[in-house]
Amino acid sequence: MSEKTSTRILHADELFHIIRTFERVWFCFLSLKPRIEYEYPICSEEIYLDYKDGSHLLCSGFPEEPSASISCDEYQCKITVENGVISTLTAVPIVNGAAHPHISLLVSQFF
């Protein structure tokens, strides 16, 4: 099995098209003080791309249900490819030129 991992910057619409090819998307939040870890899994078919207040918005769910969203135009992405297919992708939003590692999106062929 051939595995290669790379890091690259993806625009919100590029990321949207990739994550829609996976079965499930995980919205993740991590806070260190106090320690809080929260993961919100959602079927990728329920993810949509919106545009609000000058930024792209990756959203899940519907207004009357629990939902998650990330407002950001660019994401720092760690992509692992096995045999020519993306096996995992972790996307961290970039705001004001800096990645925010406490918030991320995760997709994987292994879930």
Check whether 64 has a pLDDT greater than 90: no
Check whether 63 has a pLDDT greater than 80: no
* pLDDT tens column, 18-37: 999 999 999 999 888 888 88
CA distance 40 to 28: 6
**pLDDT for the residue 111:** 60
CA distance 60 to 67: 5
CATH of 3-108 among 3.40.50, 1.10.1760, 3.40.1570, 2.60.40: 3.40.1570
For the chain, the average pLDDT equals 89
SS3 assignment, position 19: helix
CA angle 59, 6, 54 (to 5 degrees): 30
What would the mean pLDDT of 69-91 be, rounded to a whole number? 93
